[in-house]
Structure 1
């Protein structure tokens, strides 16, 4: 990723460090306004065209254990680039994409196209308790650093865990080494076990892909070789 491509990322992350100082009731509306403004032009972060993003998506999918996933959640789906990859990779799964920006979600629906009711998009804030679900596979990428302060990271981590069924997997993807801090509450969550952690260092912007799992309901849900 060249310097020009990094500028939007640096600008919006700096802004969100300041936004996180607001009370919870003020942060959500400001985030919605900001992201709708940022998405005034299609694909502002070049998620659909940048080779780095394509590599990160492939690395993320490669981290997912083989298996049958009936319900998949992508938190922070933006314009649906990765959602479309999920729909292609798991043609039998029901998929829900969540984002705070209605403008981004409009483009996500256009990108994914007609899938009947199999792929749905919801405008919501991850910290909103009204967002509920029961999923086999959950993705959270490039999102937690927007939340800023420690209490909100703790809350977001518990919300991610709450979306998971017994035996479900969670994939968290964030810049390295910042991922150490961002994933700390997931690492410490007694409801989760860490299945794997891959750090991709040989790229302009290193990132970590961390894989977690909730306890299975019974022995038939266990991973091969799992006690």
Structure 2
């Protein structure tokens, strides 16, 4: 996307975030259902940049067991299935606002233990806590800072004590998107890997939820 197109894109989602959050969720659901009228609209399966980003995200994870894993904004589950394969002993869940995307995610489960759930992260919770939470290329769709704060609270609330939140977004925009997470006293940013070798810089940022007390 060109710089002008990217600016227009951000402006549209900023305006969309001016409606009540549940209305915003419904509109986003329709928007992403429209995008998923054709399979794999962002070419996650074939685009080298996307495949490299998924590979790097898994590579930088601390080597430790994760009993419960969730991928927020999973689309058709390409990355979710990779995570389930990397951690076969874990319970892996993918959630997305597009039911059309999730139907395709379910169809790819022949060799994957991942399960999928329709969910609006601004207004709904999957229940329970998780040892590992992923959120990639999602936060910039939420628009204004108030909605980013709302989503940040939701994401932090998914973490079990000691659990990790792993975010992957364009760099340097990631720094703006993560301000609320940086300000959360319950979270500690433990790592940030900025990759600019592809001509499309992105950051993989890891936060850990502090144990109570």
Q: TM-score, normalised by structure 1?
A: 0.87
Which residue of 205, 208, 216 maps to 2:200? 205
SS in structure 2 of the partner of residue 196 of structure 1: strand
Structure-2 separation of matches of 1:158 and 1:113: 34
CA contact (8 A) 1:8 1:45 kept: no
Following superposition, the deviation at residue 16 of structure 1 comes to 2.0
How do residues 57-72 of structure 1 correspond to structure 2 at under 5 angstroms? 57-72=54-69
Comparing 201-210 with 37-46, greater Cα deviation is found at 201-210
Counterpart for residue 90 of structure 1: 87
1:161 aligns with 2:173: no
- Report the RMSD for the aligned CA atoms in angstroms: 2.2
Per-residue CA deviations over 1:137-161 (Å, capped at 9, x if unaligned) read 0000000000011111111111111
Counterpart for residue 180 of structure 2: 185
Which residue of 51, 70, 78 maps to 1:54? 51
**Please, which runs of 5 or more residues in structure 2 have no aligned partner?**
none
SS in structure 2 of the partner of residue 46 of structure 1: coil
CA contact (8 A) 1:167 1:216 kept: yes
Structure-2 separation of matches of 1:35 and 1:14: 17
Which residue of 1, 19, 36 maps to 2:33? 36
Per-residue CA deviations over 1:39-71 (Å, capped at 9, x if unaligned) read 000000101110000111111111210011110
**Please, which runs of 5 or more residues in structure 1 have no aligned partner?**
219-227
Per-residue CA deviations over 1:163-196 (Å, capped at 9, x if unaligned) read 1111111101110110010011111111111110
CA contact (8 A) 1:191 1:214 kept: yes
Which residue of 96, 121, 137 maps to 1:142? 137
Structure-1 separation of matches of 2:83 and 2:102: 16
SS in structure 1 of the partner of residue 147 of structure 2: helix
Following superposition, the deviation at residue 114 of structure 1 comes to 5.4
Following superposition, the deviation at residue 11 of structure 1 comes to 6.9
Q: TM-score, normalised by structure 2?
A: 0.92
Comparing 59-68 with 130-139, greater Cα deviation is found at 130-139
SS in structure 2 of the partner of residue 113 of structure 1: helix
Decide whether aligned partners of structure 1 residues 67 and 180 sit closer, same or farther in structure 2, where only a CA change above 3 A counts. Answer: same
CA contact (8 A) 2:10 2:143 kept: no
SS in structure 2 of the partner of residue 131 of structure 1: coil
Counterpart for residue 75 of structure 1: 72
Structure-2 separation of matches of 1:8 and 1:120: 35
CA contact (8 A) 2:102 2:116 kept: yes
Following superposition, the deviation at residue 18 of structure 1 comes to 2.8
1:103 aligns with 2:90: no
